[in-house]
Amino acid sequence: MRHSLDRVLTIAGFTVRETVHGRGFLGAGLASLAVLGLAAVVGAVFWVNRGPLAGRPGIGETLAREIVARIELGIALGGLSLVAVLLAVVLGADALAGEISRGTILALAARPVARAEIVLGKVLGLFLPAAVVLTVMGTASAVGTGVLTGVWIGDAVPALALLDLELAVMVVAAVAVSSRLSRTAGTVVLLIAYFGVTNLSQLFALGQALHSDWLQQAAIWGRLLLPVGEVSDLAGRLLAGPLTALAEGLVRGVTDGLEPRPWIVGYAVVFLAGALALGCLGLARRDLR
């Protein structure tokens, strides 16, 4: 077991070095900085113009400051998460497929390394740098928001943990797909799945408009095909705080029944384990020549 872990960590170490020295990682870093800049600008605009909001009945200055802080932090963490997920898709879809197409995986497979260890090493090597960047930048954004507004949002910690879980699911799914599909095909499949699942609320709203229970149920259960949508929604609700009740008052009836289910985190962990097992099985049955 110890030797197996050493091999996994060795592969992960090589993958981390390849990841952080790649142009995709640099591009993701620059995009993340742009997201933080955008969140800061939007937050500053809301902060300067918070007076009318604070003057509304039942809100006041304290709640207005918290609303501005949560809007700024929500934009920052949401944008950072999207960048991290897209990076996971692009790099993960090439993790095994690229090695196979280039023939470099043969040198690795010729060594006393199990194919499952290759998969695990690739997953760790892709997840760790992306998760570190997401967590560090997200934490910096939360601290910066607290310093500027005087509002410290404790919900940022569990929200970041949920976004890291979402990232882990996408990394594992991408590596699993790359064990059977080419880089291009895997990227297309994953992007369609991600954006399709995260926009099933449109199908749910259509079902409500047409009074179609079938469409509504398809949207509700279709989210389980890739549980990132619900996990992300749960993180968003934590970050929104009091904004959640205000938003529900505006769109009540449109999203009722599509709220994140309490067991979605456990399901996401089980999904992650299942996708990892399928990735190991896919590579084990793949002809590497």
> pLDDT tens digits for 118-130?
999 999 999 999 9
Of 64-68, 164-168, 251-255, 269-273, the least confident: 251-255
pLDDT at 249 over 60: no
CA distance 110 to 104: 10
Work out the pLDDT band at 49, boundaries 50, 70, 90: confident
Maximum pairwise Cα distance, the chain: 71
Residue 222 neighbours by CB under 8 Å, 6+ apart = 197, 200, 203
Tell me what pLDDT residue 88 has: 94
pLDDT on residue 248? 53
What is the C-alpha separation between 16 and 7, in angstroms, rounded?
A: 14
What's the CA gap between 100 and 224, in Å, rounded? 30
pLDDT in tens, 207-217: 988 989 999 99
User: What band does 151 get if pLDDT is binned at 50, 70 and 90?
Assistant: confident
Average pLDDT, the chain: 88
**How sure is the predictor about 246, in pLDDT bands with cuts at 50, 70 and 90?**
low
Range 42-53 average pLDDT = 83
pLDDT at 190: 95
Q: For residue 106, give every residue at least 6 positions away whose Cβ sits within 8 Å of its Cβ, in sequence order, or none.
A: 288, 289
Q: What sign does the dihedral 29-30-34-36 (CA atoms) show? A: positive
**In the predicted structure, residue 181 carries a pLDDT above the cut 80:** yes
What count of Cα atoms within 13 Å lies in the side-chain half-sphere of residue 81? 27
CA distances from 217 to 129, 164, 184, 206, 229 (A): 37, 28, 32, 12, 16
Instruction: Specify the pLDDT at position 161.
Output: 96
Please state, in angstroms and rounded to a whole number, the distance separating the CA atoms of residues 56 and 63: 11
Question: What does the pLDDT read at residue 63?
Answer: 82
Mean pLDDT to the nearest integer, 18-31: 90
Distances (CA, A) of 13 to 17, 27, 121, 126: 6, 21, 8, 10
Q: What is the pLDDT of residue 284?
A: 86
Total Cβ atoms within 10 A of residue 156: 24
What does the pLDDT read at residue 62? 81
If you count them, how many residues does the chain have? 289
How far apart CA 105 and CA 17 sit, in angstroms, is: 17
